[in-house]
Amino acid sequence: MKDGYFIELTYLLASVLFVFGLKGLSNPKTARRGMNLAAAGMLAAIVGTLLHHEILSYELIIIGMIIGSLIGAAMSIWMPMTAMPQRTALSHAFGALAASLVGISEYYRHAVDLGETLPAYKMTALGFEVLFGSLTVTGSLIAFAKLQEMMRGTPFTYKGQNIINISLFALAAGIFIYLIFVPTASSLFYVMVGLSFLFGVLLVMPIGSADMPVVMSLMNSYAGLASAATGFAIGNNVLIIAGTLDGFSGFILSILMCRAMNRSITNVLFGAFGAPATDTGALIEGVMREVAPDDVAVQLAYARQVVFVPGYGMATAQAQHAVRELADVLEHRGVIVKYAIHPVAGRMPGHMNVLLAEANVPYSSLYEMEQINPEMNATDVAVVIGANDVVNPDARDNPKSPIAGMPIIEVDRAQSVVVLKRGKGKGFSGLENPLFYKTNTGMLYGDAKSSLTRLAQAVQQT
């Protein structure tokens, strides 16, 4: 009995630490402390679990802990910050896989091995756990493959895909409901597992890499909800609390990401977004005006205020340190430097913040879209680093555009705009960007890291 009280006490402590950890992550100044609190909470949860009287083999648990610790250490130490989206996708896959395996083993132990008739509430928890856990595993792995460029990042689409996806999910959900009333139908249970794995693949395949911020937060939500269901299935309070926190915070973040991209949450849930866009904008007149690094350096050196707008191109070029180097040179000359952060710039929520933090960019220099847009008219030079859709004025000016209504960083209102791009491509969305043809815009082609380094050197010599 005393052991039971101690276990529940450790679970309560872990839950409190998870709550305060999540609260700490809401502010960059307290984020590190929040992470440490959450890690301490996980340690408390593990200690409580290891004291549970139902544990059959400590040897296997220790082996699992060693393997998991080695994998986690390798991912945290050697995986570069630019690969953080891929690491996050893998973490979602691992967490969801753990929940799914627990659900499958619990079902097998009770319904198959012992031949018990599972109560409706437990079968509901197990079914929900396995259904959402399984689709999260394969969905997260597909997201990882796209982000790692192991497969093409553009959407895989085919005729009738939405009907097939919805029908597949409806079939899996139908089996789930049937199992609640007939839990002994073990063959249908495994069919549901297989359908869930398949649905996870088909859910993410038609989504392009440019839409990964929503996918990442959505997979985070699914993994959390699966973990909460695991807690109900095995009677573990800390799993219920932690999974609910993770699930609903991820779901709220998904909604915020959808708003930032002007997308419907319904489209996200059914995988009906990310299809190749058709550019319905008016014919753009003019040409892209290429500029030389020396000319840009002069503009930057004598500017009063410069705003950097990072995008996924900065991540792929690993140019965050070069951005900071150029900013330091400009600030030494008395130039005001700010960074404009769009909520869906990159491939996961907060992607740009993470990369700039790695380069020791002060958080006070980072400005959200609502903060920086009013200052654009007073900005001398806006430097766009590998961003496309988040600065596309068609979202504001062209109601027929596929991204119409999407909030953007209004760099076109600056006195001068410099766009760093590898080439003349249209980006992941496939949409033409009128910004690139405006008279106050100059295109600086080449690798972003090399271009920024040359600009820093040229500014010093100006």
Residues 242 and 357 in one domain: no
Query: What is the side-by-side order of every strand in the sheet holding 381-385?
Result: 366-368, 336-341, 305-310, 381-385, 416-421, 441-445
- Which structural domain range is residue 182 located in? 79-269
pTM over 0.85: no
> 321, 296, 329: which is closest to 456 by C-alpha?
329
Q: Which of 88, 191, 173, 90 is nearest to 137 (CA)?
A: 90
Domain co-membership, 95 together with 241? yes
pLDDT at 206: 83
Please report where in the chains the tokens 């900065």 appear, as a residue: 314
Structural domain contains residue 386: yes
Tell me whether residue 387 is in a domain.
yes
**Residue 123 confidence (pLDDT):** 94
Determine whether 412 is an active site residue: no
Q: Is the distance from CB of 171 to CB of 264 less than 8 angstroms?
A: no
Statement to judge: residues 306 and 390 lie in one domain: yes
* Measured distance CA(56)–CA(403) in Å, rounded: 55
- Domain for residue 67, yes or no? no
What's the confidence (pLDDT) of residue 110? 86
158 is written with which tokens?
């085919």
The encoded tokens of residue 368 equal 């959200």
By CB atoms closer than 10 A (0-12, 13-18, 19+), residue 275 is middle
* Per-residue model confidence as pLDDT tens digits over 376-392: 999 999 999 988 888 99
Residues contacting residue 4 through CB under 8 Å, at least 6 positions apart = none
Q: Are residues 236 and 111 in the same domain?
A: yes
pLDDT in tens, 253-303: 888 878 777 767 666 555 444 444 454 455 566 688 999 999 999 999 999
Structure tokens given for 220: 């985070």
The sign one gets for the Cα dihedral 423, 429, 430, 433 is negative
Does 87 share its domain with 176?
Answer: yes
Confidence at residue 53, expressed as pLDDT on a 0 to 100 scale? 62
User: What's the confidence (pLDDT) of residue 274?
Assistant: 42
For residue 350, pLDDT beyond 90: no
In a domain, 208, yes or no: yes
Q: Which two tokens stand for residue 402?
A: 């596929």
The answer to whether residue 318 sits within a structural domain is yes
Question: Is residue 87 located within the same domain as residue 123?
Answer: yes
Which candidate in 3, 113, 246, 389 is catalytic?
Answer: 389
> Is 143 part of a structural domain of the chain?
yes
126 and 257 both lie in a single domain: yes
* 51 is a domain residue: no
For the record, the structure tokens of 155 come out as: 């959407």
Is the pLDDT assigned to residue 426 strictly greater than 70? no
Secondary structure tally for the chain: helices H, strands E:
17, 6
The domain boundary, picked from 269, 301, 333, lies at: 269
Same domain membership, residue 244 and residue 152: yes
One domain for residues 353 and 388 = yes
Instruction: Indicate whether 177 and 305 sit together in one domain.
Output: no
210: pLDDT confidence band, cut at 50, 70 and 90? low
Residue 401 belongs to some domain of the structure: yes
Number of domains in the chain: 2
CB crowding 421-457: b at 16 or more within 10 Å, else e: beeeeebbbbbbbbbbebebbbbbeebbbebbbbbbe
Residues 247 and 194 placed together within one structural domain of the fold: yes
User: How many Å apart are CA 264 and CA 56, to the nearest integer?
Assistant: 47
Angle at the Cα of 102 from the Cα atoms of 269 and 86, rounded to 5 degrees: 50
* DSSP letter, residue 109: I
Label residue 1 by pLDDT band (50, 70, 90). very low
Q: Are residues 306 and 224 in the same domain?
A: no
> Residue 441 sits in a domain of what CATH number?
3.40.50.1220
